[in-house]
Structure 1
């Protein structure tokens, strides 16, 4: 079986959780005998592939063209949805003019304004996919992709339930493929004594692209009057330079706050081992690969209640509201005082591995190609 996994144009320049998910899924599928290529093109030749695996209906403009291309060439499509509605974030979590506009405009017009603003700054972004945000519309592109998907691969039952609710459909052609961790790296570093990150021992760590959706500014505001050591790890997203300036101002004024732009994934596991709490006060997470990785290395978790976090972590994590600074601080305090994380750690190492994710993915592939 030959599979083409397609992703967003800035897959390499702006790595995120989806980057890790795709690369690790490819690695494990190949161990199961599947030939896998990755493409960032909109309309590649698919004649040598049995199926196409698309990723993400939140950043829809590329996925829409990729879906049209797959269907025009008669290929079945598996879709990793990576979905949660963005309206609450746009209305409450955005900053400046975008927050104001979100109170009066629907998501289609918000996305039109966003792409127009980017296009005025950089004419190089215009192509068939970005023009479609203006002409077809954000929601209609999502609906097209959903209606033409042969099998859905949500990260959680809650994610699929939310997709059905938001789009008014009852799609049952899905297999839940959970987010996962690299068990080999966990076992490699779990019992190794290492001093590389010793200065960050017992710190609070937040890993993710620097952007309003990840809500790092609220985290720093919540913890700036505490004695916690706080580490932010992540590249600054396009269009969030001013947001980062506000973050940098707080970091520069606090000797216990640190910023690391990027770190190799295997070293991140070493850093998690020394930290005490991983916090993701995001406006949505499904559930966030870094939370799984951190918990596998023994960190306590403070996470947003929005998204699929409760399905993954149950009573073993502490939850916050992203728009409530006191709630964020309270969740961090509770997580910091939790001493035994073995229940969650063992659950992740048993159920949430890339090996298991690849098995579920291959099962989905077989269903839509009848290659049993």
Structure 2
């Protein structure tokens, strides 16, 4: 039996995001294919000798990957989840916003890692990262990987254009769990015809602009998610504005079964982010009969084509217009059909296993 070691970022469970779902669901569905998978957090001690292959996630967190590939001779693949924060950083204001106008995005990411170490005690695991910096670390991880597993062709093209690596890749799409998000789910009527936004509450997800865009409408907005540990000030801004509007609320991160019933009752799901590789919650909402509003920044158009409503994250009128159009239009059933055909975890697991076999059978 093939034994797979999956290694995730240190904050995978304390600050859950789309990658938390991606990792756990990929592992779950690989096990259904008869693969022995264990998931570890980046700073755990691991006996590498028990495994045939390592699978990492989040190439923009190379410090979580470097110690393992420097200690182990195992072949490895990387699900890149290559999020680009540069446009958000330039628009955020403050010191980082200013620095983003004069420094490269890689230098900004390095400064952020150092700041997290000083401010929060987030340790830096690798001397390589500390000495070589962010860009060199990302390139090193990518060049040593046997295969990269982006969620889209668009993601891979962005990555190689930025870092100039030639590592081969296999597209492994993000997906939904069709057992959890099924037509059998009963709608939670408390959220009937709500506009929903599900995601970690942080600047990149752009909830503050969403609140401002909808605060003078008659729509009911429900934001679901935990604040990112490094964006508590941003979360408090969102909370203050929400409290001033009777038609809005924030709910903490909830389990997928509850989420499915909320989606089922809602009309629109919106992610007006500064960047999304996919937006897992958009896939999940669409399968539960929501129209979806998404950012065009990132790789969303490869997934949603012309079946979503697109908005510009820096334009309140654009966000409002897209949400109102989505609310007033019939449900896009063709998007649901596309997702059931292309974007289910069974397909993701099959493609992931194909990647493992490509590496191990070279």
With structure 2 as the length reference, what TM-score do the two structures score? 0.95
For 1:1-372, what aligned pairs fall within 5 Å after superposition?
A: 1-42=2-43, 44-69=46-71, 73-92=72-91, 94-122=92-120, 124-129=121-126, 132-171=128-167, 173-187=168-182, 190-194=183-187, 197-370=188-361
How many matched pairs? 360
RMSD over aligned Cα atoms: 1.6
Local SS of the residue matching 2:38: strand
Q: Is the 8 A contact 2:42 2:65 kept in 1?
A: no
With structure 1 as the length reference, what TM-score do the two structures score? 0.93
Q: Is the 8 A contact 1:115 1:133 kept in 2?
A: no
Q: Cα gap change, 1:118/1:186 in structure 2, threshold over 3 Å: closer, same or farther?
A: closer
Q: CA deviation at 1:192?
A: 4.2
- CA deviation digits over 1:46-73, x for unaligned, max 9? 101000001011222212323323xxx3
Q: Is the 8 A contact 1:295 1:345 kept in 2?
A: yes
Give the whole-Å Cα distance in 1 for the aligned partners of 2:241 and 2:200.
Answer: 17
Unaligned runs of 5+ in 2: none
Give the whole-Å Cα distance in 1 for the aligned partners of 2:166 and 2:70.
Answer: 22
Q: Is the 8 A contact 2:205 2:274 kept in 1?
A: yes
Q: Cα gap change, 1:44/1:157 in structure 2, threshold over 3 Å: closer, same or farther?
A: same
Q: Is the 8 A contact 1:84 1:163 kept in 2?
A: no
Q: CA deviation at 1:133?
A: 4.5
Comparing 37-46 with 289-298, greater Cα deviation is found at 37-46
Q: Is the 8 A contact 2:186 2:264 kept in 1?
A: no
Comparing 105-114 with 149-158, greater Cα deviation is found at 105-114
Local SS of the residue matching 1:336: helix
Q: Cα gap change, 1:192/1:16 in structure 2, threshold over 3 Å: closer, same or farther?
A: closer
Give the whole-Å Cα distance in 2 for the aligned partners of 1:268 and 1:311.
Answer: 25
Q: CA deviation at 1:333?
A: 1.4
Q: CA deviation at 1:7?
A: 0.4
